[in-house]
Structure 1
Amino acid sequence: MAQTGIFIGGGGEGYGDPQELLLRYGNRHGLIAGATGTGKTITMQIMAEAFSRAGVPVFLTDIKGDVSGMAAAGEPREAFAARAATIGLSDIDYAAMPVTFWDLFGEMGHPVRATVAEMGPLLLSRIMELTEAQEGAVNIAFRISDEQGWPILDIADLRAILQFLAENRKEISAQYGNVTTSTIGAIQRRLLVLENQGAASFFGEPALDIRDLMQLDGAQGRVNILHAAKLMTTPRLYATFMLWLLSELFEELPEVGDADKPKLVFFFDEAHLLFNRAPRALVEKVEQVARLIRSKGVGVYFVTQNPDDVPETILSQLGNRVQHALRAFTARDQQALRRAAQTYRSNPRFETEVAIREVGVGEAVTSFLEHKGVPGVVERTLIRPPSSVMGPCEDAVRRQVMANSPMAGKYDRAVDRDSAHEMLARRAQEAAQEAEGFEDRTAQEDEATERYSRARRYQPPGRMAERVETGSSRARRLGSRKTTTQTPTRSRSSRSDSVLETFGKSMARSLGTGAGRALSRGVLGTLFRGR
């Protein structure tokens, strides 16, 4: 008989019935919330294990490095055995999960890359916190990239396109709207900050193939763990990457309708980073993805400290909920606690607000979708123990897992193929060579003109002898030449004029041919680039 649900936990005296998440509603999204140290990470771990055993691939983030223990089998503990007996779990079944490690920086897992074009102008502007005018310039850069066939794959490509915009801003502004040097300069500075935060290693190829996150290992789904300890130091990059990943899943996966189980489950830890100071347009984008991606068979589970971290429009889409303890130390905390309690279907046996405040570590207030997608009655639940190691795995285990991974060698080496940066560099080089050729032709023509001028100024050797003759003999010779040399003088002048006329015609013909057109392009290109 096919598995229909995954066991989350149960309870003994004072607790409710065993809690199970139905697989057919696993794509209805969920929420794991609670204060620091109340057990959110372990809940995410046991849910990921259960989905994997049900044949559902999982993607989750390892913020503190303590989820990597899923790659190793857990060891029996007396406390675990007592918890299992209390909640009616017959066998913890200690085992390692089929894990694939990922890392945006390629240090603790296989590199994860995306092209700038895949990220798109909206998310890119979001990560750089650009103004409306600056975002408009980025959109123009992407449009020109599409029209000219200049792929934007990495930061160098984007920087080259932006430089092109700055150099040709007058012509581009006339067609697409005003582009100023100050706007381009501001974007370039933001891009430099992003590059210094490590984005240069993220943007590029080979880009991540979404299908590699949805692989099976026999009957189990692979657990994809993104090492995010370093990534968390740049929360903008983290939030944008996660949203890009969701968007890619939404765009690439086909519609599946109502399925027996999800095709992929996605855990978004520290979800509040996505919504901090997020513009309304971006929140609407997340809401759209959360609402529609479930039809693609993808379940999204937000993990955060307080339900208030998630906008109400998105919170209303989360049907499966695990609420760990909330600490109400301030008036604001008390209001958040009250609002959290009001989102659950009440249980007459206890006050939900009191339960959320009083549950201990490893306990939670839970509600999962039941038949026909109806929210279940809220229950106090003891979360089951995990089957794998709680905490980080050893470095030797990580290296062995990476070496035996089906992704080994596929993404490890970056590829820098022909794109906007190289294409624009060649264009500039060709223009420089063309200008150099024009200068060479000009120099040759100047030299020919100078030779012609020297030929006109040249005096025959016989004339030099006249300078040393006596005055009387010189006078006689000059007197005798008044009648004999007039015709030859006119003949030489006529021949010289003919040479000049021939050179002028040759120059005119060259301007009318390809050489002339190249000359014109060289001049115009120089002026165009100089603007």
Structure 2
Amino acid sequence: MLQDGKLYIGTSRNPDESLNKGEYLELKFGNRHGLVTGATGTGKTVSLQVMAEGFARAGVPVFAADIKGDLSGIAAKGEPKGWVTARAEQIGFTDLTFDQFPVIFWDLYGEKGHRVRTTIAEMGPLLLARLMDASEAQEGVLNIAFKIADQGGLPLLDLKDLQAMLNYMAEHASELSNQFGLISKASVGSLQRGLLILEQQGAQHFFGEPALDIKDIMRVNHEGKGTISVLAADKLMMNPRLYATFLLWLLSELFEELPEIGDPEKPRLVFFFDEAHLLFNDAPKVLVERVEQVVRLIRSKGVGVYFVTQNPLDVPETILAQLGNRVQHALRAYTPREQKAVKSAADTFRPNPAFNAAEAITALGTGEALVSTLEGKGAPTMVERTLVRPPSARVGPLTDQERAGIIATSPVSGLYDKDIDRESAFEMLNARAAKAAEAEAAKKAEEERRKNGVQEGSAGGRWTLPGFGDKPAEDSAEARPKARTGGYQRETVIEAAMKSVTRTVATQLGRAIVRGILGSLKR
């Protein structure tokens, strides 16, 4: 039942419960994106694993988040037991062979896989504002922070770099506002508190270096199998906003880094976005528009994006319209919203006159799904009620020992496990602040010295010029003659003044005496 150029999903059956034909996803349409939906426990994870195995077997790298740890079993060989063999017999899948696939485990916290990081600069202000749940004014301040860092040659790599930049902006808010627009200290303070919350949630593990190289999630092993990158997301789901922002960042990086290749014979990478509703919950319009743009344009770069969620209503209609490959598991229809979701899901399929899709969705059993893929020139196939094939790898989690062994022998072992903290905005701004503080201290010391110098001259009769030494003038051999000359000049002036007064007094006194004598002679 396996066919070249096609990914076998399962076997459909007619309304009379008889088996019909195999349902396939053509690899050349694998980059046209897809959607896997269904209520909890209906078989979404198995469908995801089946598709991931099919792409990897065809030499297509896969990136998928592992929410519960169940997907890790794809790295171990399956066993012919239980429902696996029963399902293979039920659908007549005689080509089933058990296999294992090359896997690289990733973990933002470095506990269940290799550390995966990015820098603040690569995340950008839009996604960072989303991560911090920033207001419009706060997002504006973030944009200014990135602008100042770019102009000033200040690399923003980790949280402490952004914290240092915000401190700098708060201290110089007045002068920066004149150049970049209003920088409110209140907005800066709110962003600083947001950074503190992110740090408490463990985001400091995500921001830093070495940053993830996109090439390391697009590997193909020596057997020609695509490597499956599995992100351990059980702990990450404790902070769903960080989870959604990280995956959106990764999708954006792929969009920006990969060149245009049109429609290849098979995708260059397939990206599974599990719990996709977390991406769109309370998302601002600008972010939804960004996702829509990426999903629409990344197809021509050979990347297929598959959203996995419980309810098709979790995905905005503008994005839902671009998802050509559909696997719809059972939905419950007890509430008005659930009934609306069932109708919405049924209406997205190309109708099959053999059954009512809306009624079938509520009656599907575990491991059963409505399947419609693209064929021919890209038109959707008629929806079929399909029993999903069993996986070739293990269904269920690896043990801790098995996971540790795979991590130790990984092709990226040692590349991301040690932090690198090179000089960046934090160190540069601290160095500038220290230099400015030293200059200010020197200026104050100079002013104090000048002040003390003047006081000494007035009190002690000795006057010196600041910066020309602090030795008394009498201690200098060259200064002594000048001191004597200066003293002599001061003494000569006084002497001259006294002599002038004496001469004046003597003259006047002499005249008076003469007039007195002459007067007496006349009498």
Q: Specify which of 375, 380, 385 is matched with residue 380 of structure 2.
A: 375
How far apart are 1:445 and its partner, in Å?
A: 3.5
CA contact (8 A) 1:15 1:380 kept: no
How far off its partner does 1:457 sit? 7.6
Residue aligned with 1:89, SS: coil
Q: Which residue pairs with 1:62 in the alignment?
A: 66
Select 1:116's aligned residue among 110, 115, 120: 120
Q: How many angstroms does 1:180 deviate by?
A: 1.5
- Structure with larger Rg: 2
**Number of the residue aligned with 2:515:** none
Secondary structure in 2 matching 1:339:
helix
423-432 or 440-449, which deviates more: 440-449
Mapped partners of 2:321, 2:150: distance in 1: 38
Contact 2:12 2:384 in 1 (8 A): no
Percent of matched pairs sharing the same residue? 56
1:47 aligns with 2:51: yes
**Aligned equivalent of 1:320:** 325
Q: Secondary structure at the match of 1:174?
A: helix
Q: Does 1:184 align with 2:184?
A: no
Change beyond 3 A, Cα 1:441–1:351: same
Report the Cα offset of residue 454 of structure 1. Answer: 4.8
2:94 alignment partner in structure 1: 90
Partner of 2:32: 28
Tell me, in whole angstroms, the C-alpha distance in 1 between the residues paired with 2:491 and 2:209.
75
Aligned to 1:252: 257
Shift of 1:281: 0.9
Residue in structure 1 matched with residue 516 of structure 2 by the alignment: none
Deviations 1:287-309 (A, max 9, x none): 11110000000000000001110
Shift of 1:81: 2.1
Q: Which residue of structure 2 aligns with residue 240 of structure 1?
A: 245
Does residue 340 in structure 1 map to residue 353 in structure 2? no
Tell me the residue number matched to 1:4. 5
Distance 2:435 2:86 in 1: 76
Question: Which residue of structure 2 aligns with residue 212 of structure 1?
Answer: 216
Do the aligned partners of residues 281 and 272 (structure 1) sit closer, same or farther apart at CA in structure 2, a change above 3 Å counting?
A: same
Shift of residue 339 of structure 1? 1.4
Say if 2:179 is the partner of 1:175: yes
Deviation of 1:450 after TM superposition, in Å, equals: 4.5
C-alpha root-mean-square deviation of aligned residues, in Å? 1.8
1:124-523 → structure 2 map (5 Å cutoff): 124-218=128-222, 219-456=224-461, 490-491=490-491
- What is the identity, as a one-letter code, of the residue corresponding to 2:423? D
Q: 1:332 to 1:2 in 2, by over 3 A?
A: closer
- The C-alpha deviation readout for 1:231-283, integer Å capped at 9, x for no partner, is 11111111111111110000000011121100000000000000011111111
358-367 vs 446-455, which moves further: 446-455
How far apart, CA to CA, are the structure 2 residues paired with 1:347 and 1:157? 58
> Higher helix fraction: Structure 1 or Structure 2?
1
Task: Return the alpha-carbon distance in structure 1 between the equivalents of residues 153 and 85 of structure 2.
Answer: 62
Q: Per the alignment, do residues 78 and 174 of structure 1 end up closer, same or farther by CA in structure 2, a change over 3 Å counting?
A: closer
One-letter identity of the residue aligned with 2:394? V
Aligned residues: 466
Tell me, in whole angstroms, the C-alpha distance in 2 between the residues paired with 1:358 and 1:130.
43
State the shift of 1:195 in Å: 1.3
**Amino acid corresponding to residue 157 of structure 1 in structure 2:** D
Q: What letter matches 1:65 in structure 2? A: G
Q: Is the 8 A contact 1:16 1:379 kept in 2?
A: no
In 2, Cα distance between equivalents of 1:240 and 1:349: 42
Contact 2:272-2:305 at 8 Å conserved across structures: yes
Q: Do the aligned partners of residues 457 and 108 (structure 1) sit closer, same or farther apart at CA in structure 2, a change above 3 Å counting?
A: closer
Describe the SS at the equivalent of 1:224.
strand
The alignment partner of 1:266 has SS state of strand
Instruction: Return the alpha-carbon distance in structure 1 between the equivalents of residues 399 and 22 of structure 2.
Output: 34
**Is the Cα contact below 8 Å between 1:10 and 1:382 reproduced in 2?**
yes
Larger CA deviation: 439-448 vs 350-359: 439-448
- Indicate how the Cα distance of structure 1 residues 492 and 69 shifts in structure 2: closer, same or farther if over 3 A, else same: farther
The answer to whether the 8 A contact 1:11-1:86 is kept is no
TM-superposed deviation, 1:493: 9.0
Quick check: 2:74–2:100 contact (8 Å CA) kept in 1?
Answer: yes
C-alpha contact (below 8 Å) 1:16/1:380 kept by paired residues: no
Q: CA deviation at 1:311?
A: 0.4
Name the amino acid aligned to 1:58: V
Deviation at 1:410, TM superposition (A): 0.3
TM-score normalized with structure 1 length: 0.85
**Which sections of structure 1, spanning at least 5 residues, go unmatched?**
459-486, 495-531
Which deviates more from structure 2 when the two are superposed, residues 70-79 or residues 322-331? 70-79
Asked if the contact 1:15–1:381 (Cα under 8 Å) also holds between the matched residues in 2, the reply is no
Distance change in 2, residues 1:20/1:493 (3 Å): farther
Give the corresponding residue for 2:499.
none
**Distance of 1:492 and 1:223 partners within structure 2:** 103
CA distance in 2, matches of 1:493, 1:445: 30
Q: Any idea what SS the aligned residue of 1:258 has?
A: coil
- Equivalent-residue separation in structure 2 for 1:348 and 1:17 (angstroms): 17
Q: Deviations over 1:32-78 (max 9, x none)?
A: 00000000011001110111000000000000111111111111114
Alpha carbons 2:456, 2:462 under 8 Å: kept: no
CA distance in structure 1 between the aligned counterparts of 2:120 and 2:493, rounded to whole angstroms? 70
Q: Find the aligned partners of 1:441 and 1:19 in 2 and give their Cα distance.
A: 86
Q: TM-score, normalised by structure 2?
A: 0.86
> 1:335 Cα deviation (Å)?
1.7
